[in-house]
Amino acid sequence: MSRESWWLDYVEGELDPATRAEMKALLRHSKADREVVEALSSTKELLKEHEPPATEPADDLFFDALHDKIMAAVEETVVKPAPRAATQRLKKNKRLLISSGGVAAFAMLLLSVCFLSTSSQQTGLSSTNQILQAALQSPDESLRVLGVQSQNDFFVDVAGTSFDDLNIMQLQGLLKTKTRVR
């Protein structure tokens, strides 16, 4: 989840009480995050406050008539059978594919592992270098992956970049507390 997504969860009440309390504490120290929360909640409030009025009919007569029209159409409608045959055929094909392909796939896997192991030794590339190369080749994908944060990443990120009101000693103390909690 992105950082904004975490704050959206906060605004929308999608968090468990403990996480919410922790995030509330973080907010006190981060002006940037307070602004994000304010932006999300005030926009939602504005939308709710100025919701377009209901234009659909509210009288029972209208809905009685609508109900009757629907039920009259339903009387002439037949429930289509669930496409079970297709599903079963699909499952059968899938089973066949798995069983026949299983042996071949295992053999391919073994060959791939052998090949990768050999080529890695030959080129001498460390996994870090491989990651860096992949990132250079596809920066968009790397940014997308980097934008995904776990809950722990989120707290570290906020602590690292947004504690504009804290001095370094306070920040270290807070991080120690967070580490102990984990």
Q: Where does this chain bind other proteins (CB under 8 A)?
A: 1, 4-5, 8-9, 12, 14, 39-40, 42-44, 46-48, 50-57, 63, 66-67, 69-71, 73-75, 77-83
Q: How many residues does this entry show for the chain?
A: 182
Residue 109 CB, nearest distance to other proteins (Å)?
A: 29
Q: Which is nearer to other proteins, 1 or 166 (CB)?
A: 1
**Cβ neighbours of residue 85 under 8 Å, at least 6 residues apart?**
none
Nearer to other proteins by C-beta: 152 or 172? 152
Q: Tell me the closest approach of the beta carbon of residue 47 to other proteins, in angstroms.
A: 5
72 in helix, strand or coil? helix
Closest CA to 158 of 23, 12, 42: 23
- Report how far apart, in Å, the C-alpha atoms of 80 and of each of 29, 77, 84, 91, 122 are: 59, 9, 11, 21, 61
What's the CA gap between 30 and 26, in Å, rounded?
A: 7
Provide, rounded to whole angstroms, the least separation between the CB of residue 61 and other proteins. Answer: 13
Is the Cβ of residue 92 or residue 144 nearer to other proteins in the bound state?
144
Q: How far is the CB of 44 from other proteins (least distance, A)?
A: 6
